[in-house]
Structure 1
Amino acid sequence: MSRTTPAPWRREPGLVGRTVEAFLSPLQDAYLRDTPSAVARLAQLRRGAGKAPEEVPELYGLTGTEGLYAQGPFADEKTEQRATVAVHTAVTLYALHQQSQRSRRMHRTGYELGAAVRMLMPSGEIDEPLRRRFVRVGTATSEAIRADRLRELVLLLRRQEVPLDYAFLADQLAQVQVPQLAPRVRQQWGRGFHAWRPPKATDSDGGGSKGTDTSRDAG
């Protein structure tokens, strides 16, 4: 299995990341146990992958967004909107990523977006079409467009069983909507892409040799 070291600049998750972690961790565990309710929930959530929340009103109340309000109301409507969009996007993309995968966790701590995309490429080479897909995520002009472009990447990650840290991604998706914070998020994605290196030794779990992971499983 492809693995990578945790992103060195990863901070403790913010409210958005904690909300996603609290929702996905038990859901992922239940799905891997083949619990019928969890299987059904992921099937529902997949319908929203790559779409804005308002495009899939049937998912209201199903994405764990209520966790955002555990500490009380938001200070302003813009912050609330950014947070709810980020949670929806991360959770629905995870559901697509985990589809049909019953033995491995596709949400795992430390698997940053840039590094995960780089892991899809041959060692020491740049896959130009894939690189352009990655760049398009950073240049998206709306969150709906970004979600759709992330969906394309997640399908590729799913194909090669490369996991992603959806709590970390959710925090980034909330921050990238803020003009003052967007450059930092794009920089994080770029750093992850450029900094990843293949492992020097065979992966300890025998499943692959693209990277070395010292992180714990999320959930």
Structure 2
Amino acid sequence: MTTVTNPSPPASTSPAEAESTERRPPVPYWRRHLRADGTWKPLVGKNGPPGEELADLRSGLGQPAGSVIALWPYYAAETDGELTPELVAEHGALTLYGLHQQSQKRPMHKKGVNLGAALRRLRDSEKFLDSALDRRVETAATTTSVPALLYRLRGLVTQLRGQAIPLDYDQLARDLRQWSQAERRQWVRRRWALAYYTRGEQNGADQGPADDSGATGAGTPAPGARGASSGA
């Protein structure tokens, strides 16, 4: 007589494994409607995120993180109510993205284009007087607080939008997170300056630490980057 043995059921997933599988890191809003190749997801259509959502993001311009109810559904940073550097940085990046993506059909988030490289492309467009743009960039770079930096960046992002020049909002959020710490702020300034004052696509990529684990220098600023690398 042949004995038939039922196959053993698959091993159950431990609570820890189940949690790690179910809890994936939340996706920042500027990537929420994008496919892996950087194009819009089919359900979004040609014109990108809904205009009312972008308007919600813009409503937070100049306002403290967490203070505008309309923005609450768009935050990905985890917090128990405390204004963490991560939440403050994400708030700033969200509001600028809402401004940048307004009326744009192409995505204004593009991986690998840091702020300095995006502004360099703006300078190369020859739509603005070089000396005037240089002053605006240096004025932004020599701020010492996140609110002051965001205020200065609003005008520059508006100019980027006018020329449909994208930037990497993942990187911008990381830069904003480091801005309140003097040593790391200096590193971010140097990286922006090197990308802004040097021609070439290679300057758009992030160079050096991308998180808050430490901030080593990325070299000395290119000639002419006096404001972007000096202390405030």
- What's the TM-score bracket when you normalise by the shorter of the two chains? 0.5 to 0.7
Equivalenced residues, count: 174
Alignment of 1:35-114 (within 5 A): 38-53=50-65, 56-64=67-75, 67-69=76-78, 81-102=84-105, 104-114=106-116
Gaps of 5+ in 1: 1-17, 198-210
Q: Which has the higher contact order (CA 8 A, sep 6+)?
A: 1
Q: Conserved in 2, the CA contact under 8 Å of 1:108 and 1:163?
A: yes
Q: Which moved more, 1:148-157 or 1:32-41?
A: 32-41
Q: What's the counterpart of residue 209 of structure 2?
A: none
Question: What does the per-residue CA deviation read over 1:16-75, in whole Å, with 9 as the maximum and x for residues that have no partner?
Answer: xx76x5332124536952689833211111122344326x523341332xx322xx879x
State the one-letter code of the partner of 1:112: N
Task: Please say if 1:118 is aligned against 2:137.
Answer: no
What percent of counterpart residues are identical? 33
Which of 1 and 2 has greater Rg?
A: 2
Task: Specify the SS of the correspondent of 1:110.
Answer: coil
Residues 117, 204 of structure 2: 8 Å contact kept? no
Distance 1:151 1:61 in 2: 21
Which has a greater percent of helix? Answer: 1
User: CA contact under 8 A between 1:50 and 1:151: conserved in structure 2?
Assistant: no
TM-score for both structures, normalised by structure 2: 0.64
CA RMSD of aligned residues (A): 3.3
Q: Which amino acid aligns with 2:133?
A: L
Q: CA deviation at 1:88?
A: 0.4
The equivalent residue for 2:28 is 22
Instruction: Note the C-alpha offset of 1:176.
Output: 1.4
Counterparts in 2 of 1:99 and 1:37: CA distance versus 1, 3 Å: closer
Q: TM-score scaled to structure 1, two decimals? A: 0.67
Q: Is the 8 A contact 1:63 1:88 kept in 2?
A: no
Does structure 1 residue 191 correspond to structure 2 residue 194?
A: yes
Cα distance change of structure 1 residues 35 and 186 upon mapping to structure 2, 3 Å threshold: closer
Is 1:156 matched up with 2:168? no
Decide whether aligned partners of structure 1 residues 59 and 142 sit closer, same or farther in structure 2, where only a CA change above 3 A counts. farther
Structure 2: which 5+ runs fail to align?
Answer: 1-24, 35-39, 206-232
**AA aligned opposite 1:136:** T
1:200 aligned partner:
none
Report how far residue 123 of structure 1 moved: 6.9
